[in-house]
Amino acid sequence: MAFDVAVVGAGPAGLAAGWALAAAGARVTLYERRRTPGGAVRTDELDGARVDPGVQLLGSYYRETFRLAAEVGASGLLVRSPGRDALWRGGRAHGLTYGSVASMAASGALPTGLKLRLAARYLPFLTRQSALDVNDPARTAVGLDDRESIAEWGRRALGDDFVELLAYSTLATYYTALPEETSAPFYHALARAGIDLTVHAVRGGVGELARAIAQAIEARGGRLVAPQQVDLVTARADGVELRFEGGDTARHDAVVLAVPAAEAARIGGLDEQTRGWLAGVRTRPTATLALRLDRPAPGDWFGLSFPRNTPPGERLVAVCALERKTPGLVPEGGLLVLYPAPEIAPRVAELEPGAVADLLLPALEQALPGIGARVTRARVYRFPDGSVQFYPGYLEHLRRFDEARLPERLALAGDYLVSPTVEGAVRSGLAAAARLLRRAA
């Protein structure tokens, strides 16, 4: 009889685990509390346009994500995106291509002094960190002080401009994080990956990739049960029992908990030490605001970032113009997704939709005057689980995770175990599947 595995959570980690298990011959049941799989990798429709409210692009260093897409027959969904972005400085948008050293050197986004310091100090420093890998920072950040924030390191080594224009813009936009609250080695790993970076979009929206993986699991005999809230997992010597909202139960041979750390601690029946370790995972809730426009947004950028020392940046860290990401997402008009500054993100996540618009739209008007008059519809997307924060000391916290304390028939998966990216989630899911398959063997 096939090894019967429950996967709780159908975000990137759960989907990766589910596919690896199904491909190895296991019988997989995915339980997802939302109506559709994907988690933060989800796509919605707004007045005929496809909205990616969370994750926008996949980096070229997402090697396991690309391999997973190939295995499920979804490589054709991934398309190269131009990577044209802009940084707000001096009251206007300065174009640049992240990952292109030549573009950043030529752009007016960065002061000349910072460019010289990057060329003379930071690029050589990153080149010397040849083993540093953003997909495995806990193991590869050898000899770097994880207790120091990138704000402390950056101001000392490269100056305030580095912290405010580069570190803040990157961390706040992609990870809802602050330089003062981010491990310096983790940022260095991100920066090293960005030296030679290309970015890819997903045809039809990032949710199409999640849907393709779920369909591939189903084609191997797996099931997706959604929406279904799992309230308790009990692992025993002869199997695991899941209790659902409403009191029903199901039995399986093993389980992958691919849910946020706090949820895993709440429902997983784990020992006190493991729950204590999970309590050391910090997240920052957020929400985004999608604006449907009657015409394309002004400018030629896909993403426009706002430093926090500029007027828009007090409330808004970035805006993405989805009509410029890949053809077909926005058949006509325009579509913007607004990301709040990390300092206010938790408050935004709790506001009523009208209050979110009242808070963020005036900030956008400071950069794009008159944009409010072009809005035909708006929608708020909430991410209460938030982004995992790789705070100073978190890499050492990762090294202290003791997988041996988990029940034999249970595995954890989530980006908090690897790196706060889609790739980190995928890698954690693959590792969770490998753990259970070793047990089954």
**Domain ranges, ordered by start, for the chain:** 4-41+61-74+205-281+390-440, 101-194
Choice among 190-194, 277-281, 380-384 with the minimum mean pLDDT: 190-194
4-41+61-74+205-281+390-440 against 101-194: fold identical: no
Confidence of residue 164 (pLDDT cuts 50, 70, 90): very high
Asked if the model's pLDDT at residue 59 lies above 90, the reply is yes
Higher pLDDT, 198 or 418: 418
Tokens of 105: 């050197």
Contact 432, 411 (CB under 8 A): yes
Contact 285, 386 (CB under 8 A): yes
State residue 99's pLDDT score.
Answer: 55
Taking residues 310-339, report their average pLDDT. Answer: 96
Peptide bond into 362 cis (omega under 30): no
| % of the chain beyond a pLDDT of 70 | 98
Distance CA 160, CA 165 (A): 8
Contact 312, 365 (CB under 8 A): no
What CATH number was assigned to the domain covering residues 4-41+61-74+205-281+390-440?
3.50.50.60
Per-residue 3-state assignment (H helix, E strand, C coil) for the chain: CCCEEEEECCCHHHHHHHHHHHHCCCEEEEECCCCCCCCCCCCEEECCEEECCCCCCEECCCHHHHHHHHHCCCHHHEEEECCEEEEEECCEEEEEECCCHHHHHHCCCCCHHHHHHHHHHHHHHHHHCCCCCCCCHHHHCCCCCCCCEHHHHHHHHCCHHHHHHHHHHHHHHHHCCCHHHCEHHHHHHHHHHHHHCCEEEECCCCHHHHHHHHHHHHHCCCEEECCCCEEEEEEECCEEEEEECCCCEEEECEEEECCCHHHHHHHCCCCHHHHHHHHCCCEEEEEEEEEEECCCCCCCCCEEECCCCCCHHHCEEEEEEHHHCCCCCCCCCEEEEEEECCCCHHHHCCCCHHHHHHHHHHHHHHHCCCHHHHEEEEEEEEEEEEEECCCCCHHHHHHCCCHHHCCCCEEECCHHHCCCCHHHHHHHHHHHHHHHHHHHC
Tell me the sheet residues that pair with 378.
291
- Averaged pLDDT score across all residues of the chain: 95
Asked if the model's pLDDT at residue 211 lies above 70, the reply is yes
In whole angstroms, what separates CA 401 from the centre of its chain? 21
Distance CA 402, CA 270 (A): 12
Whose CA is closest to 50, among 302, 357, 371, 331? Answer: 331
State residue 129's pLDDT score.
Answer: 94
What is the CATH topology of the domain spanning 101-194?
Answer: Guanine Nucleotide Dissociation Inhibitor; domain 1 (1.10.405)
Contact 325, 56 (CB under 8 A): yes
Tell me the sheet residues that pair with 30.
7, 224
State residue 175's pLDDT score.
Answer: 96
Match 């005929």 to its residue by tokens. Answer: 48
Contact 206, 43 (CB under 8 A): yes
Confidence of residue 219 (pLDDT cuts 50, 70, 90): very high
pLDDT tens string 254-263: 999 999 999 9
Taking residues 313-324, report their average pLDDT. Answer: 97
Choice among 97-101, 204-208, 369-373, 420-424 with the minimum mean pLDDT: 97-101
pTM for the structure as a whole: 0.96
Tell me the sheet residues that pair with 81.
199
Taking residues 196-215, report their average pLDDT. Answer: 96
pLDDT tens string 66-122: 999 999 999 999 999 887 899 999 999 999 876 555 566 677 889 999 999 999 999
State residue 420's pLDDT score.
Answer: 97
